[in-house]
RNA sequence: GUGGUCGUAGCUCAAUGGUAGAGCCCCAGAUUGUGAUUCUGGUUGUUGCGGGUUCGAAUCCCGUCGAUCACCCCA
């Protein structure tokens, strides 16, 4: 039994886990680049005040915080948006608007871990800064949809639940509810599907509202509500409206959202939200004490729930398998059949690697059978046998099992050509 | 932070208060120039940890740590 283990809520990434993680990263990055986003990164730690200033109680109660050796209050980042707002407000004049930025990195929240929830998780963040239009919101929803599709997660597997906080602020204005109750009210709406109706009714009556009236308003706030009109037209034109379901109970816990809000949910497994985000028009102004007013919107997708969803979605397996095959294998395994030929074999290993071929070999003397087994284990496509016949080298296709002799001087160019050929599937006897 | 369930080999699990086991995996050999199968052998445990009850504890009790579920909320 190991004496040491990972700290509660933290994960190891063994090679197979790391390969899956890299597949997720590559897919995120590829789709974001397809949308014209550029990548940035922020520090893993910030002053605790940065999070106190904006996020609201939900997040600050989960901060992974500590004092550094000089007594400064520091927190591991629970999310990246505050750092982004800090960075963007500091140097926004250096960048043309709108700024389409994305980021991939770890975040930390001190909460009770369970399935889909760990204390360190990796987020993909995509944000568009300096554009208040609903076209921006549509671009972000479209990106979220395309990311899901890129993973092989299809329309029957997920949905974007979308709303707009303004329908509720308008509602409160109509009902003459004092503004200081707005946060309380949104918190009630957030829980309305989970809490007991009588509790909800009581909380609403405390701020002068009735559950029946709120319920009726929610039902009426469907996809025909005028507040969604331009966003809907945009997404319909893209053919993506089918992925969106208007749901007025989506308000999101973070304090800074001001307009469109949405979350990505799976439809078949009852998992937690895969992604979430929305419009935060006032955040940059808040973070810069009013000197930079930059309306913005964005969303984040976490690797943990996404990973669970990928493992449970049959259609997502092809992409993973392809990626793992391309990333985990090597092109050629050099077999040293005769130790007298180790020197030229090593020279060939280095020459092949210099030519861009992925090569592995037995670093100590091994029986030929062992070396072929090792070639199989590392998923090599070709075996290159250095033996008594050198300077002829035997080249064996480990899939088709065909063998040919190649002159040592032609080996690099021959292998380079061979690995470009499409894979021939293994025949099933 | 609160409550429920659980914790045995690297993994999946067995062992009714009475000597801690199996399968898989891994390593070596059978097999000295070809991948599979098979066979043989081998490593692996302070039964999460610490106390307690008992002649005797993997088993019962308490605590603690961890996993998981619910609350909370969300990536």
ipTM entry: 0.81
SS3 breakdown of chain A: % helix, strand, coil, rounded to 5?
45, 20, 35
Residues A167 and A262 in one domain: yes
Looking at the fold, whether A361 and A282 belong to one and the same domain comes out as: no
Report chain A's terminal Cα–Cα distance, integer Å: 43
Residue % of chain A over a pLDDT of 90: 51
Q: Is A429 a member of any domain?
A: no
Tally of domains in chain A: 2
What pTM does this model have? 0.89
Lowest mean pLDDT, pick from A2-6, A118-122, A312-316, A415-419: A2-6
Rounded to whole angstroms, the Cα distance separating A242 from A316 reads 20
Spanning CA of A64 to C1' of B12, the rounded length in angstroms is 35
- The answer to whether position A7 is within a domain reads no
Give me Rg for the CA atoms of chain A: 28
Whether residue A415 is found in the same domain as residue A375:
yes
Q: Which of A287, A321, A355 is the last residue of a domain?
A: A321
Structure tokens at A72: 């400064």
| Residue A124: alpha-carbon gap to chain centroid | 4
Asked if A380 and A280 sit in the same domain, the reply is no
Q: Which 3 state secondary structure label does DSSP give A173?
A: helix
**Residue A354 C-alpha from the chain's centroid:** 33
Final residue of a structural domain among A321, A343, A361 = A321
Q: Binding site residues of A for L-histidine, as ranges?
A: 79-81, 109, 123, 127, 252, 256-257
Strand locations in A114-191 (E): 120-129, 158-164
Task: Kindly state whether residues A251 and A197 are assigned to the same domain.
Answer: yes
User: Is the CB of A11 less than 7 A from some atom of nucleic acid strand B?
Assistant: no
User: How many other C-beta atoms can be found within 10 angstroms of the C-beta atom of residue A31?
Assistant: 22
- pLDDT digit string, tens, across residues A372-423: 999 988 889 999 999 999 899 999 998 888 889 999 999 999 999 998 887 6
Which among A139, A167, A132 is positioned nearest to A246, based on CA atoms?
A: A167
Same domain, A274 and A405: no
Of A303, A321, A339, at which residue does a domain stop?
A321
Any atom of strand B under 7 A from CB of A337?
yes
The predicted-structure confidence for A20-49, as pLDDT tens digits, reads as follows: 899 999 999 999 999 999 999 999 999 988
Same domain, A306 and A364: no
Distance between CA A340 and CA A356 in Å, rounded? Answer: 26
The strand B neighbours among A residues 210-269, by Cβ under 7 Å, are 252-254, 263-264
The nucleotide whose C1' lies nearest the CA of A272 is B74
| Strand B bases, protein C-beta under 7 A | 1-3, 9-10, 29, 31-36, 45-46, 48-49, 65-75
Same-domain check for residues A43 and A127: yes
Do A316 and A336 have their domain in common?
no
A125 shares a domain with A252 = yes
Summarised one tens digit per residue, pLDDT across range A274-308 is 999 999 999 999 888 888 899 999 999 999 999 98
Domain carrying residue A382: 330-420
Say if strands A296-302 and A330-336 run parallel, antiparallel, or are unpaired.
unpaired
The answer to whether residue A5 sits within a structural domain is no
CATH of the domain at A150: 3.30.930.10
């Amino acid at each position: 039994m190991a004496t040491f283990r990972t700290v509660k809520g933290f994960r190891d990434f063994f090679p197979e886990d790391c390969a899956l993680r890299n597949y997720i990263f590559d897919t995120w990055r590829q789709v974001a680049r397809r949308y014209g986003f550029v990548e940035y990164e922020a520090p893993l730690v910030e002053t605790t005040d940065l999070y106190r200033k904006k996020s609201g109680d939900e997040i600050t109660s989960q901060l992974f915080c500590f004092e550094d050796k000089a007594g400064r209050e520091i927190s591991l980042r629970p999310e990246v948006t505050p750092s982004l707002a800090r960075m963007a407000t500091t140097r926004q004049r250096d960048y043309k608007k709108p700024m389409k930025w994305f980021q991939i990195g770890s975040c930390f929240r001190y909460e009770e871990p369970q399935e889909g929830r760990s204390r360190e998780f990796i987020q993909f963040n995509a944000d568009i800064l300096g554009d208040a239009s609903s076209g921006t919101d549509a671009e972000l929803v479209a990106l979220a949809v395309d990311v899901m599709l890129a993973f092989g997660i299809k329309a029957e597997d997920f949905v974007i639940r979308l709303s707009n906080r303004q329908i509720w602020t308008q509602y409160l204005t109509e009902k003459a509810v004092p503004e200081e109750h707005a946060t309380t009210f949104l918190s009630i709406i957030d829980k309305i599907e989970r809490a007991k109706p009588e509790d909800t009714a009581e909380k609403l009556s405390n701020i002068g509202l009735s559950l029946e009236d709120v319920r009726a308003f929610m039902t009426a706030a469907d996809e025909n509500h005028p507040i969604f009109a331009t966003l809907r037209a945009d997404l319909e034109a893209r053919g993506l409206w089918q992925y969106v379901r208007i749901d007025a109970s989506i308000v999101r816990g973070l304090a800074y959202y001001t307009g469109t809000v949405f979350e990505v949910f799976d439809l078949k497994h009852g998992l937690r939200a895969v992604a979430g985000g929305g419009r935060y028009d006032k955040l940059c102004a808040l973070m810069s004490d009013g000197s930079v007013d930059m309306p913005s919107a964005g969303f984040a997708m976490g690797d943990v729930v996404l990973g669970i969803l990928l493992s449970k979605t049959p259609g997502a397996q092809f992409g993973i398998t392809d990626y793992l095959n391309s990333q985990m294998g090597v092109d050629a395994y050099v077999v040293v059949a005769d130790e007298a030929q180790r020197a030229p074999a090593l020279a060939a290993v280095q020459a092949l690697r210099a030519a861009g071929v992925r090569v592995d070999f037995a670093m100590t003397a091994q029986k030929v059978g062992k070396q072929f087994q090792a070639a199989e284990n590392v998923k090599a496509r070709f075996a290159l046998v250095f033996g008594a016949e050198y300077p002829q080298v035997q080249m064996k296709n480990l899939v088709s099992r065909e063998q040919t002799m190649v002159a040592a001087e032609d080996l690099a160019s021959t292998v380079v050509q061979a690995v470009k050929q499409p894979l021939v599937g293994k025949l099933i006897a």
